[in-house]
Amino acid sequence: MNHRLWWRIAWRNLGRNRRRTALTASALTFGFVASVLMIGYMHGMMEELISNGTRVATGQVQIHTADYEPERSIHRTLGGREGLD
């Protein structure tokens, strides 16, 4: 059987049960739209996390000494504002 015949059979089969076809098409459309919205939401959330992290924690540039520890503990921070003036 050639491809043209397969497409004709498939197209006719879609018309046999219109309610099932509409329900399946609606479910696929809903899933696609939900996926696009969630990906957009996650992308925006990631951009905000990076922006807030850069603005609050480090700024745009960091200057370190040669013995900088890239895997330092988060608990090793300044205790207060003494010495920062």
User: So where are the chain's domains?
Assistant: 3-53
Q: pLDDT tens digit string along 19-32? A: 999 999 999 999 99
Cα(3)–Cα(78) distance, integer angstroms:
71
Above 80 in pLDDT, residue 60? no
Mean pLDDT of 6-25: 92
Please state, for a pLDDT cut of 90, what percent of the chain lies above it. 46
Estimate the crossing angle of helix 18-53 against helix 3-16, to 10 degrees. Answer: 100
pTM over 0.75: no
CB 54 within 8 A of CB 60: yes
What's the pLDDT at 27? 98
Closest CA to 77 of 60, 61, 58: 58
What's the pLDDT at 53? 81
Above 60 in pLDDT, residue 85? no
CB 78 within 8 A of CB 84: yes
What's the pLDDT at 25? 96
